[in-house]
Amino acid sequence: MTRRAHLRQLARHLRRYLAWQKGQGTTSYVPADSEARKTLKARKKALQEQKLAELRAPTDEGSKESVERRPDRAAEPVSKPEPEPELPSPPAERKPEPTGPQKPETSKKAPSDGEVTASTPLWKKHDPIHEITGRRRKKADKAAAARKPTKQKKPPSKASPDGRPTPPLESTAGPSEPAGPPPAGPVGPSQAAPQTPAEKMEFLQNYLGECQRCALCEGRTNVVFGDGDPNARLLFVGEGPGRNEDRQGLPFVGPSGQLLTKMIAAMGFERGEVYITNIVKCRPPGNRNPAPLEIKECAPFLKKQIQVIEPEVIVTLGRFASNALLAKDEALGKLRGRWHEHMGAAVMPTYHPAYLLRNEDDRRFKRRVWSDLQMVMERLGRDSEENQ
C-alpha cells in the first residue's frame, strides 16, 4: 500500500471512529464553526509563510541544482527571464521521465536544520495554489497545436454576478486559497518547480488531501478529485460525485458514467485519453446541487486542474456545471450547441448523461448531445468510432 493510500485509510478510520463516538454520545467532537476555521486558516497561513520564507532563500548552489534537475531546461541560461512559476523551487526529488532526455547527475547537498529536503513530501514544500503554474508544456501532438493557432490564455474575468444561484468559478479567491501572491523576493527560472503535468496533478491532489474546507466533507466517503490523462486535449466537467463515485473515489463510474464512457468512445477517444472531473469534489448529500460556498471552496482546485491540463476543449455536462464554469445563469438549451471560452479553452456545454438516462424516450436530447459532441470532434480533428 502506498503511503498516500495508507494515510487515506487512516483518515477514513478516524472519521468512522469519530462518527461512531458521536453516535455513542461519548465525544465532544463538533464540526469546526466559522471562528475556529478562521483561526485554523490563520495558523496555516502563518506556517506557510514561514515555509515560503525558508524556500525563498536558496543558496546559489541550490538554485542551479534545480535547473539542472529539469531535463527540459538543462540547456537554458540560468538567468533567462520567465514570469512563471512565481516561487523558487527547493531541490526536489524528481521522478524519472519515461520518455524525456537523461537527467544530468547532481550531487546531493546535506540539508541544514529545518531545511526542506528531497524527502519532505512535495505538498509540504510548496504553496500549491500559486506554485502550480509552470510553463506551457510541449504538446506531444504538434499537429494539434497547429490546429489551434488562435488559442490564447486569457486571465479569468473577475465578474461576480451577485445574486446568481451558481457563483462563477472565476471568483476563486476562496478562503482556502493561500492568501495573496508570495512576498517579493529573488525569483527566477532557477527556482521554477520542475513538475510535469502528471506530477502537478498528483501534487494538487495531495494538497486537496482529505479536504475539510466545507461541510461536504462530513457526508462523503471519498474525495473524488478527477481521473484521466493530465495531458488531455479534452476535459469533461460534471456537477459533483454521486453515490457510486463517492464510494469508489472516481468520477462518473455509476450509470451516468457508463453512458459518458460510451459517449467518449463514440467520439473516437479512450476514456483514459481524456480527463474527467467535477465542479465539486465531494458528494453533496442526497445528490442535491452543490451550494455556492461549497463551489467557492472547490473552485481553486478545478481552476488549477484546468491550468495543469490546458485542455483545448472542455465539455461541461448539464446546466449546473455549465453555468458554474461559465459564470452564467442560463437554460442549458441556450448554452449548448455553440462555443464558449474559459481559461483559454473552448467550452461546449451539453446535456448531462443522467438527464439523457432520465429522458431515454425522448430522442431529441440524444441527438442534441451527439451534435454537440460532433462539434467537439471536429474541433479536435477526430473521427467518430463509426467512421474509423
Q: Among the candidate windows 132-140, 154-162, 240-248, 341-349, which touches ligand URA by CB under 6 A? A: 240-248
Is position 238 an interface residue for ligand URA (rule: CB under 6 A)? yes
Residue 241 binds to ligand URA (criterion: CB under 6 A): yes
Judged by CB under 6 A, does residue 239 bind ligand URA? yes
Closer to ligand URA by Cβ: residue 116 or 232: 232
Nearer to ligand URA, 171 or 256 (CB): 256
Name the segment binding ligand URA (CB under 6 A); options: 201-209, 239-247, 292-300, 323-331. Answer: 239-247
Site string for ligand URA, 253-272 (x = CB under 6 A): -x-xx---------------
Is residue 350 involved in binding ligand URA (CB under 6 A)?
A: no
Among 171, 278, 305, 350, binds ligand URA (CB under 6 A): 278
Contact 309/230 with Cβ under 8 angstroms?
A: yes
User: Interface residues for ligand URA in 365-384 (CB under 6 A)?
Assistant: none
Would you count residue 228 as binding ligand URA (CB under 6 A)? no
The least CB distance from residue 330 to ligand URA, in Å, is 18
Question: Is 251 among the residues that bind ligand URA (CB under 6 A)?
Answer: yes
Q: Taking CB under 6 A as the rule, does residue 245 contact ligand URA?
A: yes
User: Using CB under 6 A, which of 91, 242, 290, 311 touches ligand URA?
Assistant: 242
Q: Note whether 246 binds ligand URA by CB under 6 A.
A: no
Give least dist CB 233 to ligand URA, A. Answer: 20
Cβ 277 to ligand URA, closest distance in Å? 8
Q: How far is the CB of 240 from ligand URA (least distance, A)?
A: 6
- Interface residues with ligand URA (CB under 6 A)? 238-242, 245, 251-252, 254, 256-257, 278, 354
